[in-house]
Amino acid sequence: MTSRGRSTQRVLILLALVAAVLFVVAAGAVGQTETVAQEDEPVLISEQPVPESVERSEPTADHSKFEILQGPFATGPDLTTACLSCHTEAAKQVQGTTHWTWDNHYGEGIGKTTQVNNFCIGIQSNEPRCTSCHTGYGWTDNSYDFTIEENVDCVSCHDTTGTYKKFPTAAGHPAYEPTDFGGKTWNPPDLAMIAQNVGKTSNETCGACHFNGGGGPGVKHGDLNPDLLTASKDLDVHMSADGAGMVCSDCHEGNNHQINGSSVYMSPSDDSGVDLPLDDGNQATCQSCHGTEPMDSDKLNEHTDKVACQTCHIPTLARGETYTKTWWDWSTAGEFDADGAKITTKDENGNVEYTTIKGNFEWDRDFVPAYVWFNGIVDVTVAGDPVVLNDDGVMELNAYSGSYDDEHSRIYPVKAFRGIQPIDGGNNTVALPHLFGKDDAAYWKSFDWNTAIAAGMEVAGTPYSAGVAVPYSGEVAWMETVFYEPATHMVAPSGDAVECQSCHSRDGILASIGGFYLPGRDGGALDWLMWGLVALTLVVVIVHGVMRVVGSKRRSS
């Protein structure tokens, strides 16, 4: 080969190498550009663009033209009777749903009816207050007849006027005459006007209960509160007007009044992906619209076998104006001022800090959720269950199951609501106090925990309707508890998603989630030894160098 030929060949090899390296770098850079360009665009499986505004179907009936709805209606059940004269099967359908039964089938007869939490602890013996959020009328105690059709409250969900309000302590009834409660007067709603304007459910009707869980705006849920009614896109990409403009029932759709999606049967994973009509009956998951691989980056999609969508896309809870309750200490309740009057104090943000009837609260907003391994199975607690404390000395009232090794588990965000609540100290069991009522045994009358718990335990058995008493020793003690609320609403724009290093760092948000190797968090155990070797090497070469310089100076002198 001539030298000219050889040098040409050499140049070609070099060019090929440089081209190959540049190609890889350029490909990587282009990939990055694409990711940036598509940020904040909804990633749906359909290639169709999301419409600017959603045109929803108009009803085929004008209810104001129905003679039977002209009223007047004295009570809610009277109105329902009118509804059922046409919608003959509607009440039967409703009575088959958890909106009616509050029986979530955790086990035999265990559900919202008998479950204990660390807010107002339990429904049993406190029904008239709690059932102000029931889709029915008149549920005052465990003798309630769940088969009476006219007790279904149609308009709690189908009111479109915004004037229908269930009275807070009337077992699901609205006020029928002007009544004072909570510092304001509740006027009776115009049931005939409401009946003539019924329609689809709305964020307002669903939110009337679900935004006010725990008895007030955002009290129970960090991801559900009235801020969603006027949400900005930053707060919720789905429900904001400048976002997708969606309503609750767009995801929580259903047939025969059976609504998809539940805070009990949650789906941290949904491998079936996009749901078509008549699909898997689980149409309220992220994957139902977004599919199982919605991200532009393969590496991000590869996270979905272990990380729930919500974990990255709900960076903080209660990101709007409304605070959510994070701590409730019942043990401090019952203090009165010098005049014997009840005390209410508020913190600097205007949230109640202490009330005589309930004890001490703490509130927070825009805070990072807690994270747990979760496979959809929740182990709930009922009155009389033994007290079981975890390593932190806290009882998990609804322990979430799951682990890294379980293919159905995902790392899932929760609001961990903590508090201190009474127990049966003699039997070391979970107590359910009778709080609400006009009788002397009610804690909010007597402020005596002993009589309140005794009265609560009288009717606190499982199943709910049986009214089997739970043994009570007569000795009140206290325990710290935690109750988990799923975080699944208030999805942030993709640009606000949790950043990689929030988890992939030594003390990141997943610092306490065990069972697996997390790059950036783990693997540093022997780093001190290795950096020590590096430092030792540096010392050796520096000493070596100095000795060479000294040696050569000595020789030259």
Partner 1 sequence: MSTHRVKIYAGFERLWHWLQALFIITLMVTGFEIHGSYSLFGYETAVRIHNIVAWAFIILIVFAIFWHITTGAWRQYMPTGDRSIVTQGRYYAFGIFKGEEHPYRKTELAKLNPLQKTTYLGFKILIVPVMVTTGLLYMFYNSWSDLWPGGLAWVAIIHAFGAFFLVIFLVVHVYMTSTGETPLSNVTAMVTGYEDIEDAPEEEPATV
Stretch that binds partner 1, among 9-17, 76-84, 96-104, 277-285 (CB under 8 A): 9-17
Nearer to partner 1, 200 or 548 (CB): 548
Q: Based on the shown chain and the rule CB under 8 A, indicate whether residue 85 belongs to the binding site for partner 1.
A: no
Q: Based on the shown chain and the rule CB under 8 A, indicate whether residue 17 belongs to the binding site for partner 1.
A: yes
Applying CB under 8 A, among 1, 2, 28, 438 the residue interacting with partner 1 is 28
Applying CB under 8 A, among 56, 184, 438, 555 the residue interacting with partner 1 is 555
**What are the φ and ψ backbone dihedral angles of 34, each rounded to 5 degrees?**
-60, -40
Which helix (H) or strand (E) element contains residue 542? helix 527-556
Helix (H, G, I), strand (E, B) or coil at 39: coil
Find, among 250, 218, 233, the residue nearest to 487 by Cα: 218
Nearer to partner 1, 168 or 291 (CB): 291
DSSP, residue by residue, 372-412: EEE-S-EEE-BTTPBP---TTSEEETEEEP--TT-TT-EEE
Q: Based on the shown chain and the rule CB under 8 A, indicate whether residue 523 belongs to the binding site for partner 1.
A: yes
Nearer to partner 1, 61 or 535 (CB): 535
Residues binding partner 1: number (CB under 8 A): 48
Helix (H, G, I), strand (E, B) or coil at 524: coil
Nearer to partner 1, 415 or 521 (CB): 521
Helix (H, G, I), strand (E, B) or coil at 92: helix
Closest distance of CB 5 from partner 1, Å? 15
Q: Based on the shown chain and the rule CB under 8 A, indicate whether residue 4 belongs to the binding site for partner 1.
A: no
Nearer to partner 1, 19 or 389 (CB): 19
Q: Based on the shown chain and the rule CB under 8 A, indicate whether residue 551 belongs to the binding site for partner 1.
A: yes
CB 428 within 8 A of CB 387: yes
Q: Based on the shown chain and the rule CB under 8 A, indicate whether residue 514 belongs to the binding site for partner 1.
A: no
Q: How far apart are CA 481 and CA 396, in angstroms?
A: 6
Applying CB under 8 A, among 60, 147, 506, 557 the residue interacting with partner 1 is 506
Find, among 59, 48, 76, the residue nearest to 151 by Cα: 76
- Give CA separation, 50 vs 46, 53, 243, in Å: 9, 9, 10
Q: Based on the shown chain and the rule CB under 8 A, indicate whether residue 346 belongs to the binding site for partner 1.
A: no
Q: How far apart are CA 75 and CA 59, in angstroms?
A: 26
Q: Based on the shown chain and the rule CB under 8 A, indicate whether residue 379 belongs to the binding site for partner 1.
A: no
Contacts of 81 (CB under 8 A, 6+ apart): 150
Q: Based on the shown chain and the rule CB under 8 A, indicate whether residue 86 belongs to the binding site for partner 1.
A: no
CB 453 within 8 A of CB 431: yes
**Applying CB under 8 A, which residues contact partner 1?**
10, 13-14, 16-17, 20-21, 24-25, 27-29, 31-32, 299, 302, 305, 405, 499-501, 504-506, 516-517, 519-524, 527, 530-531, 533-534, 537-538, 541, 544-545, 547-548, 550-552, 555
